[in-house]
Amino acid sequence: MSNPPFPLLKILFLLTTLFVAVHGNEDGRNIDEKIAALLAKMTVEEKVGQMTQVTIQAVAKTEGTATQAFELDQKKLEEAISRYQVGSLLNVWNVAMTVDEWQDMIKTIHKTTRKKSRLKIPIIYGIDAIHGNNYTRDATIFPQSFGIAATWNLDLARIEGEITALEARASGIPWNFNPVLGLGRNPLWPRFWETFGEDPYVAGMFGAAYVEGMQGHDVSAADKVAGCMKHYIGYSLPLSGKDRTPAWIPERILRDMLLPPFQRAVDAGVKTVMINSGEVNGIPAHADEFLLKTLLREELGFEGFVVTDWEDIERLYTRDKVAGSYKEAVKMAINAGIDMSMVPFNFEFYTHLVELVNEGEVPMERIDDAVSRILRVKYELGLFDDPNPYKKVVEKFGSETSRQAALRAARESMTLLKNADRRLPLAKSSRVLVTGPTANLMSALNGGWTMSWQGNWEELYPKEKHTVLEAIQEKIGSKQVSYVDAAGFQDVKDLQAAVTAAQNVDAIILCLGEPAYCETPGNIGDLDLPAAQIELAQALQATGKPVILVLLEGRPRVIRPIVDQSDAILMAYLPGMEGGIAIADVLFGDYNPGGKLPFTYPRYSNDLTLYDHKFTDVLEGNSFHPQWEFGHGLSYTTYEYGDIIMDRAAITEEQEITIRIPITNTGDRSGRENVLLFIRDKVRSITPPVKQLKRFASLEIQPGESRTVEFTIDSAALSFVGRDNARILEAGEFEIIIGPKTATFSLVKSEDTSEQ
Ligand code: BGC
């Protein structure tokens, strides 16, 4: 490039070049070159700072009690930035803040970084926006993930990702610690509801759709954020069912069942990953080089960066006892492949790691690798150009269109488990008694990660949103609705009052379930629904009035004693802020439910056999007898499945088979039918499951209309992890199962199909 002619221009040019060199702006270099140039300027301390993440509480003046307003401690913030060069902050100070409060805080953080750090590397702020951007007031709040999975509608996961990203960016936040890609296979586990249910294919498909919506094609766009798949890997299968307790997972099972959802999210381009806070086979995941390097980077091909979970490096020493000191724990975790430590309260991690690098205990290449990965995501997010492009999106925050999307998701998640004598929908002229501990609580509709970590701070919830009771009152008029607060979650209050009130109504709407909880505080010792709630149900059932049970719960609590005497049962999951309206719509016929369970609903707390069990699970003497099967869900209309039509009877490894099935709505209401395709491998070298879900589709069908669903199955869908822990294919026969219909095809070696 020739020099500009005038001195003034020359100065401007030099200033711009300097600015660009420091900020890595639009200067023609690609991201690799920018990273290399920046890395070359960084001291060990600056590099380690990038790997350090602290919580906002670490730089706050206040403690975070109910009545305190958030106040940044500018001195602490400056210290974190100028002395420790922190690369990341996370979390909400206590409870959800307004967009303006977020913006004040985020702007101060970026301003301080620009002023007080030598290289002005922007901070990346991370948040748990688990079902919408739940730590900003008035955000759009979706059903929790297990409810999203019950819709079987991938568009909804994509839309949830899009809206969550936009509302997080509007709050100044470019990084979301979601989706959860563990599997809900142990219903005791208090994070069950954060999963997409028990099936790996479902979890992978929903996780990938959510990531695509959240990150888009260009994650630097003002309405996109970086995702964080979590918790890699094995966290969701604690033997005891308690949070953060040991898992035993043979490598074959790990690869066959737990890895595929993470692989799909990696293929969808997810930018970051958070590590399992617990241990697998006696090795804490944070210290497991095999998981962090071999499997994650070499095999899955993950190129983003790895963040720890809360305090989990220090815990290798204080809790897990695999390290004799905090410093040893730091060495272990960083050498195993951790890139960023969610410390989160102090700078001990930083001090230890700087020392370890200087002592040669952690190689500089490992540090450079970690820092490059972190810088790459910061560049990709456009943080160097504009760390907070909120002005471009803030107007769309909490829009009516977004609310409608959340309502649609809540409606589509509604799963009708029982409807004896077509008791539902109720006529709008009915007089009803509404009762039960979840009837009048916004927190019971939302669960954890709402307004506060535990989600159980009822006073914080927006007053204009509707509980189940309020939504019913609104729909049929308050005069037709009696409400009695007859029992809490664990305690009976006034059964007689409820029984008396029941005398004057046409139906009882009994809302049972769980209070809001999150992580370890949600541990339970017994899956049975607490006795007080069973007692309330039985007292009401004894009145002879129709009892409609509505379940608001984060995991399938055992309700066997009250199932038979309930006329109808609606599983509502944790449907979010619009959940009250969605429930009322279903109960009174304004919406025809189509949700289907993405997990097996157990009948007994000690019989937790899942849908994809083995044949030995159902030998004589054993049985598979859940309360409701995976995929169960009724409708107000009826569907008839035609015969399965296949375009060929056999495929080779390179071919795929097209499967069509006509479905007719034979009732008198339009409905959304979720169609599940299972495959049964008839014989294989590792005992086959009785069936496994391989495809699904969600479609609207009008009364009298017939629609044909088309699925393609390739050989990958028939593969499994064999005795040598490698994914293999075995020729043989496979049975397709769709609703009541079945068909058989074969997988053959290439040479056998030369005539096809
Ligand atoms: C949870 C993570 C969460 C992190 C940050 C941890 O306790 O296990 O899921 O992302 O906190 O809030």
Question: What pLDDT, in 10s, does the model give residues 143-154?
Answer: 999 999 999 999
CATH number of the domain within which 496 lies: 3.40.50.1700
Compute, in angstroms, the gap from residue 74 CA to the centroid of ligand 1: 25
Q: Are residues 280 and 141 in the same domain?
A: yes
pLDDT at 66 over 80: no
Ligand 1 pocket mutation, candidates 56, 90, 128, criterion most atoms within 8 A of CB: 128
DSSP-derived pairing of the beta strands 568-571 and 547-552: parallel
Residue 100 included in any domain: yes
pLDDT at 19: 44
Q: Are residues 128 and 150 in the same domain?
A: yes
Compute, in angstroms, the gap from residue 309 CA to the centroid of ligand 1: 6
Q: Which atom of ligand 1 is nearest to the CA of 230?
A: 9
Task: Tell me the sheet residues that pair with 708.
Answer: 662
pLDDT at 750: 82
Compute, in angstroms, the gap from residue 308 CA to the centroid of ligand 1: 9
Residue 160 included in any domain: yes
Are 425 and 607 in contact, with CB atoms under 8 Å apart? no
pLDDT at 346: 93
Q: Are residues 365 and 454 in the same domain?
A: no
DSSP-derived pairing of the beta strands 732-738 and 671-681: antiparallel
Q: How confident is the model at residue 11 (pLDDT cuts 50, 70, 90)?
A: low
Nearest CA to ligand 1 atom 7: 310
pLDDT at 483 over 90: yes
Write down which residue in 396, 426, 455 finishes a domain: 396
Residue 10 included in any domain: no
Across 176-185, average pLDDT: 98
Write down which residue in 396, 420, 441 finishes a domain: 396
Nearest CA to ligand 1 atom 8: 309
Inter-helix orientation angle 200-215/154-170, to 10°: 40
- Give Cα 527 to chain centroid, integer Å: 22
309 noted as active-site residue: yes
- Give Cα 134 to chain centroid, integer Å: 13
Q: Are residues 533 and 582 in the same domain?
A: yes
Q: Which atom of ligand 1 is nearest to the CA of 177?
A: 10
pLDDT at 64: 62
pLDDT at 623: 85
∠ at Cα 370 (365, 374), nearest 5°? 145
Are 173 and 225 in contact, with CB atoms under 8 Å apart? yes
Q: Are residues 436 and 547 in the same domain?
A: yes
Q: Are residues 468 and 507 in the same domain?
A: yes
Compute, in angstroms, the gap from residue 597 CA to the centroid of ligand 1: 26
- State how far the Cα of 578 lies from the Cα of 410, in Å rounded to an integer: 7
Tell me the pTM: 0.95
Q: Are residues 79 and 190 in the same domain?
A: yes
Q: Which atom of ligand 1 is nearest to the CA of 91?
A: 12
pLDDT at 65: 66
Q: In 249-309, where do the E strands start and end?
A: 272-275, 279-280, 283-284, 305-307
Residue 617 included in any domain: no
CATH number of the domain within which 692 lies: 2.60.40.10
Which one of the listed residues 309, 339, 585, 612 is annotated catalytic? 309
Compute, in angstroms, the gap from residue 229 CA to the centroid of ligand 1: 12
Ligand 1 pocket mutation, candidates 89, 309, 313, 519, criterion most atoms within 8 A of CB: 309
pLDDT at 189 over 50: yes
Compute, in angstroms, the gap from residue 227 CA to the centroid of ligand 1: 14
**Number of structural domains the chain divides into:** 3
Encode pLDDT of 286-331 as tens digits.
Answer: 999 999 999 999 999 999 999 999 999 999 999 999 999 999 999 9
Q: Which atom of ligand 1 is nearest to the CA of 453?
A: 12
Q: Are residues 390 and 430 in the same domain?
A: no
Within 13 A of 755's CA, how many CA atoms are on the CB side?
Answer: 2
Q: Are residues 72 and 174 in the same domain?
A: yes
Write down which residue in 374, 396, 418 finishes a domain: 396
Nearest CA to ligand 1 atom 6: 310
SS3 state at 125: strand
Across 75-91, average pLDDT: 97
Percent of the chain with pLDDT over 90: 92
pLDDT at 63: 67
Q: Could you tell me which residues come within 8 angstroms of residue 101 by beta carbon, excluding any fewer than 6 positions away?
A: 70
pLDDT at 10 over 70: no
Compute, in angstroms, the gap from residue 35 CA to the centroid of ligand 1: 29
CATH number of the domain within which 350 lies: 3.20.20.300
Residue 179 included in any domain: yes
Are 717 and 260 in contact, with CB atoms under 8 Å apart? no
- Closest by alpha carbon to 243, among 186, 292, 312, 318? 186
Q: How confident is the model at residue 9 (pLDDT cuts 50, 70, 90)?
A: very low
Q: Give me the domain span that covers residue 555.
A: 410-600
Q: Are residues 421 and 314 in the same domain?
A: no
What Å distances lie between residue 174 and 49, 165, 375, 435, 755, CA to CA?
A: 19, 8, 14, 42, 55
For 478-506, b/e burial (b = at least 16 CB within 10 A) is: eebbbbbebbebeeeeebeebbebbeebe
Classify residue 129 by burial, with Cβ atoms within 10 Å: 0-12, 13-18, 19+: buried
pLDDT at 13 over 60: no
Residue 754 included in any domain: no
Compute, in angstroms, the gap from residue 707 CA to the centroid of ligand 1: 43
Largest Cα span, the chain: 95
Within 13 A of 190's CA, how many CA atoms are on the CB side?
Answer: 21
Compute, in angstroms, the gap from residue 289 CA to the centroid of ligand 1: 22
∠ at Cα 319 (342, 240), nearest 5°? 100
pLDDT at 599: 98
Q: Are residues 225 and 167 in the same domain?
A: yes
Compute, in angstroms, the gap from residue 310 CA to the centroid of ligand 1: 6
- Give Cα 677 to chain centroid, integer Å: 23
pLDDT at 634 over 80: yes
pLDDT at 181 over 80: yes
Encode pLDDT of 536-579 as tens digits.
Answer: 999 999 999 999 999 999 999 999 999 999 999 999 999 999 99
Using the 8-state DSSP alphabet, how is residue 604 labeled?
Answer: B
Ligand 1 pocket mutation, candidates 191, 193, 275, 310, criterion most atoms within 8 A of CB: 310
Residue 6 included in any domain: no
Across 53-69, average pLDDT: 82
Compute, in angstroms, the gap from residue 164 CA to the centroid of ligand 1: 17
Classify residue 686 by burial, with Cβ atoms within 10 Å: 0-12, 13-18, 19+: middle
Q: Which of 7-16, 185-194, 446-455, 589-598 has the weakest average pLDDT? A: 7-16
Q: Which atom of ligand 1 is nearest to the CA of 274?
A: 10
Encode pLDDT of 243-276 as tens digits.
Answer: 999 999 999 999 999 999 999 999 999 999 999 9
Compute, in angstroms, the gap from residue 721 CA to the centroid of ligand 1: 31
Binding-site residues, ligand 1, Cβ < 6 A: 91, 128, 177, 230, 274, 277, 309-310, 519
Nearest CA to ligand 1 atom 2: 309
pLDDT at 717 over 80: yes
Encode pLDDT of 646-703 as tens digits.
Answer: 999 999 999 999 999 999 999 999 999 999 999 999 999 999 999 999 999 999 999 9
Please provide the average confidence, as pLDDT, over all residues in the chain: 95
Ligand 1 pocket mutation, candidates 125, 274, 319, criterion most atoms within 8 A of CB: 274
Compute, in angstroms, the gap from residue 129 CA to the centroid of ligand 1: 11
pLDDT at 62: 76
Q: Are residues 223 and 181 in the same domain?
A: yes
- State how far the Cα of 22 lies from the Cα of 635, in Å rounded to an integer: 61
Compute, in angstroms, the gap from residue 344 CA to the centroid of ligand 1: 11
Ligand 1 pocket mutation, candidates 88, 131, 177, 243, criterion most atoms within 8 A of CB: 177
pLDDT at 756 over 60: no
Residue 390 included in any domain: yes
SS3 state at 653: coil
Q: Which of 28-32, 169-173, 319-323, 383-387 has the weakest average pLDDT? A: 28-32
Q: Which atom of ligand 1 is nearest to the CA of 228?
A: 10
